[in-house]
Structure 1
Amino acid sequence: MEKDIVIIGGGPGGYVAAIRGAQLGGKVTLIEENALGGTCLNVGCIPTKALCKNAEVISTLKNIEEFGIKGIENYSIDVEKIQERKQNVIDQLVGGIHTVLSAYGVEILRGRGTILNKNLVKATLVTGEEREIPAKNIIIATGAKPTLPPIPGIHLNGVMTSNELLSFKEIPKRLAIIGGGVIGIEFAGIFNALGSEVTVFEFAPSILIKLDKDISKRLTTSLKKDGIKINTSTGVEEIKESNGSLVIVAKDKKGSIEVEVDQVLVSVGRTPVIEGLNLEGIGIELDRKRIQVNDRFETNVKGVYAIGDVNGGMMLAHEASHEGKSVAEIIMDAPVSEDRGVVPSCIFISPEISTVGITEEEAKEQGIDYKTSKFMFGANGKALSMGEPQGFVKVISTGENNRIIGVHIMGPHAADLIHEGALAIRNQLTADDIASTIHAHPTLGEAFVEAVMGLTNEAIHMVPSKR
């Protein structure tokens, strides 16, 4: 039977496209070689957030006397239990996705998909069986995998990507992390809390180079205060073995550095997964392994689409999901939201970081007349009562009419707070629109409205600026 949509890849882009396509009446087949949920659910967003919670609990225990609780200094860490809890979270979510897909009548095939032509996909199932599936439309949602740079020693035992490190059986005493991006910094926070001596090597002048500089500078200071060693403007030249340990050989502006560690995490980026799809055979255009698409996520081959990490976009799970929903609506001729420019991103470190819109540096580069305002969580009643006063909310607006164009948060529950900023930017709200909306007290959200009111020097709990 011909399908309206055949999807290769069951990650956050693929399974969302499958569900939305089926909701709109489409006959849908989803092909996934491994577990549903893809990288995000199985070896990415979800398991790391489960471990982040462990790190948060341990951090609370270390400072528990601040809350008037004594006598629990001799706690210990049960790695097996940590892994069991993490896997339970994953299994519950994977099972939920399977249930929803089945409820909508989506055919789920466990195996690899190969595109024979623009209207025919071959599924090689894990059982060895091969099936050919006629398709009106094909969506490629195969995601990405960790990049391994050409560093001598990169394949030594003990050198791993985030995929392998997530399944740790014991906590490394000394962990080196090559790459100071989101993945590297999240793992730095997790293993630092678990008790590892963590050293980060980043080639760029700062970690998290794309963040607003006010955030990245303050985070660097915070991480160093927690005992994480951070080497920026530093290139790793070699990994070698020495007396049962691994040695990172690196070079910074001052010269060579050698650091002895037990394990190495390589987190320098991700590469689209395109192997075995037969893209060259059907003439799909690539740019450095990224599938090229138009503004409707369609490749140069009509009826073949590519969504999520495989098209080399923002490489965020929620962006992949949005693209999956949009493509299903395009295929099924349903109304589609064309505005995809406002995408929040989050970093799950302590304190949390979230951002949406442009940074101050980008505003300067683009020649925008802008204003900025910051409100510190140390002046927020809810943050203080939680014992989490570190960080701030920074808001950027246009200079002429105070329209919100950027929001950057470092502090408690930053990832949950960023959506008000995303809504403000998406709907072109001004400082007055936010200020005239009553925010409940005592809440962390008050920090956002105070930062916004600071744009017009009307913040109540902030000393007025001397502009």
Structure 2
Amino acid sequence: MEKYDVIFLGGGSGGYVGAIRAADLGKKVCVIEERDLGGTCLNRGCIPTKALLKSAEIYSSIKEGHIFGIKVDSFGYDVNGIYGWKENVVKKLVTGIEYLFKARKITLKKGKGKILDNTTVEVETKEGKELIKGDNIVIATGSEPAIIPSFKIDGVNVLTSDDALRLREIPKDILIVGAGAIGIEFANFYNAFDTKVTIVEMMPQVVPTLKDRKIATLLQRILNKKGIEIKTGAKIENIEVKDGKVYSTLSTGETIESEKVLVSIGRKLNSDNIGLENVGINTEKGRIVVDEFLRTNVDNIYAIGDVIGGLLLAHKAMKEGEVVAEIIAGEEKKMDYRVLPWAIFSTPEIAVCGLTEEEAKKQGMEVLVGEFPFTANGKAVTMNATDGLVKVVARKEDKVLIGAQIVGPEASVMIAELALAIKNNLTLDDVADTIHTHPTLPEAIMEAVKVPLGSVLHIALRR
């Protein structure tokens, strides 16, 4: 029976990064993965959607070329080419991870893993079953799209996000159930190719995880301006497919007809059928319970990524993978979630880090708030991308930055500066006194932090 220092159940964002880090720290590592390395993010989530959105961005730029004095007399799109680009990107990155595994002598077993006891894992492959031993086991089994049976998901007319990534057509109209990250990104993709998009969200705002209502309202207004219809505070009561059309009945009594329905209502954590009951690992509503050291109630078994709940983010899982490898290697580490930026890659993008104004006030803090619109940012004007703003939140007592929200061009990139500032307890003055290159989008951050200091230059403050 083969013996390893660490066995990872799952080769997704957390599993593959954890495996690489553990190998670099001198551990003999095995990864068990039933599908392709990279998991949901690389194969069915973050990466393929961004590849599709890049195609949409280029197509939109051509349509808007006249604004910049560029005339294109004839243009179109090739659906097979768009999806072929997406598949090439995914293949290239998966191949890259496979190379990194070989370079570090990480053993990859293609199959389904099941824990039999605290050191034994059964691997079910196409060739049969085998047993392997591990001093430590890390569960990194991820999540899958949540499915409601009454929605009658068939993969043809009624789709999950996985199905949408395999679709080789651009529908004339689509109804998207759920206005979270997945729903918003697909809405932007289809809207770029002139699909009539309707989003139905049961919560009172788009992106329910966006705690700043003002930012959510701004985003909804921008999406509406793009022609995306949004119905908040409404549930889907029934979905029926008739003669190739989908009829969705809302709780308001309205019925919407569309070619396709995309169901993006969240994700189910993959904690079933992996042997948790064999070792008595504690779970709560499908979430594996871990402590700040990512350890379950069984000392040598850890869990990381989506399967432990919280925000289901690839970069969160990656950091957990690094940390768990370092803990297993004997380093004094623990997970710190205080600074966890996240983004939605819509047009414009949304990015968030730290506390919102409302969250800080609920914690009893007095705060200073600065907002700066992209309409006053020179680079954004040159890009014709002036929708949105930068908002920063700081403690009043010491001016230390504690949160930021951005809606605007390249928000996902810009949030990194603010995440670094929040993590290192920088103040409004620290960021304001840092010279920012001109003309660039991050100047909007510099200006936003100057607002509560009373030194902002490119907007007029009320005195």
Same fold (TM over 0.5): yes
CA contact under 8 A between 2:293 and 2:333: conserved in structure 1?
A: no
- Structure 2: distance between partners of 1:435 and 1:137: 47
Aligned residue in 1 for 2:98? 98
Matched, 1:366 2:363: yes
Relative to structure 1, the CA distance from residue 458 to residue 25 in structure 2 (aligned partners, 3 Å threshold; closer, same or farther) is same
SS at match of 2:251: strand
CA contact under 8 A between 2:294 and 2:335: conserved in structure 1?
A: no
Runs of 4+ in 1 over 6 A off after TM superposition: none
State which drifts further: 344-353 or 389-398: 389-398
Aligned residue in 1 for 2:40? 39
Aligned residue in 2 for 1:331? 328
Residues 15-38 of structure 1: CA deviation (Å, up to 9, x unaligned): 000000000000000110100000
CA contact under 8 A between 1:202 and 1:234: conserved in structure 2?
A: yes
- Structure 2: distance between partners of 1:220 and 1:388: 16
- Structure 2: distance between partners of 1:333 and 1:349: 41
* Equivalent residue in structure 2 for 1:346, among 331, 340, 343: 343
Code of the aligned partner of 2:239? I
CA contact under 8 A between 1:4 and 1:27: conserved in structure 2?
A: yes
State which drifts further: 3-12 or 148-157: 148-157
Q: What is the deviation of 1:462?
A: 1.8
CA contact under 8 A between 2:145 and 2:268: conserved in structure 1?
A: yes
Code of the aligned partner of 2:197? V
User: Counterparts in 2 of 1:65-464, with a 5 A limit?
Assistant: 65-72=66-73, 74-125=74-125, 127-155=126-154, 157-211=156-210, 212-252=212-252, 256-336=253-333, 338-464=335-461
CA contact under 8 A between 1:153 and 1:238: conserved in structure 2?
A: no
Code of the aligned partner of 1:68? G
Q: What is the deviation of 1:366?
A: 2.1
Relative to structure 1, the CA distance from residue 243 to residue 124 in structure 2 (aligned partners, 3 Å threshold; closer, same or farther) is closer
- Structure 2: distance between partners of 1:10 and 1:153: 30
Q: What is the deviation of 1:371?
A: 1.6
Residues 295-315 of structure 1: CA deviation (Å, up to 9, x unaligned): 111111111111000111211
The unaligned stretches of length 5 or more in structure 2 are none
Q: For this pair of structures, how many residues does the alignment match?
A: 461
Percent identity between the aligned chains?
44
Q: What is the deviation of 1:367?
A: 2.5
Code of the aligned partner of 1:37? G
CA contact under 8 A between 1:151 and 1:236: conserved in structure 2?
A: no
CA contact under 8 A between 2:224 and 2:230: conserved in structure 1?
A: yes
Code of the aligned partner of 1:136? D
Aligned residue in 2 for 1:16? 17
- Structure 1: distance between partners of 2:149 and 2:88: 36
CA contact under 8 A between 1:402 and 1:455: conserved in structure 2?
A: no
- Structure 2: distance between partners of 1:390 and 1:228: 16
Aligned residue in 2 for 1:51? 52
CA contact under 8 A between 1:291 and 1:312: conserved in structure 2?
A: yes
CA contact under 8 A between 2:353 and 2:419: conserved in structure 1?
A: yes
Relative to structure 1, the CA distance from residue 337 to residue 304 in structure 2 (aligned partners, 3 Å threshold; closer, same or farther) is closer
Code of the aligned partner of 1:163? D
The unaligned stretches of length 5 or more in structure 1 are none
Residues 317-371 of structure 1: CA deviation (Å, up to 9, x unaligned): 0000000100000001124265332000000000011010111221232222012
State which drifts further: 456-465 or 261-270: 456-465
Code of the aligned partner of 1:207? V
CA contact under 8 A between 1:149 and 1:268: conserved in structure 2?
A: no
- Structure 1: distance between partners of 2:288 and 2:334: 22
- Structure 2: distance between partners of 1:371 and 1:87: 46
SS at match of 1:361: helix
CA contact under 8 A between 1:237 and 1:250: conserved in structure 2?
A: yes
CA contact under 8 A between 2:62 and 2:72: conserved in structure 1?
A: no
Q: What is the deviation of 1:243?
A: 3.6
Q: What is the deviation of 1:152?
A: 4.9
- Structure 1: distance between partners of 2:278 and 2:335: 31
TM-score by length of 2: 0.97
Residues 423-460 of structure 1: CA deviation (Å, up to 9, x unaligned): 11111110111112111111111110110111211111
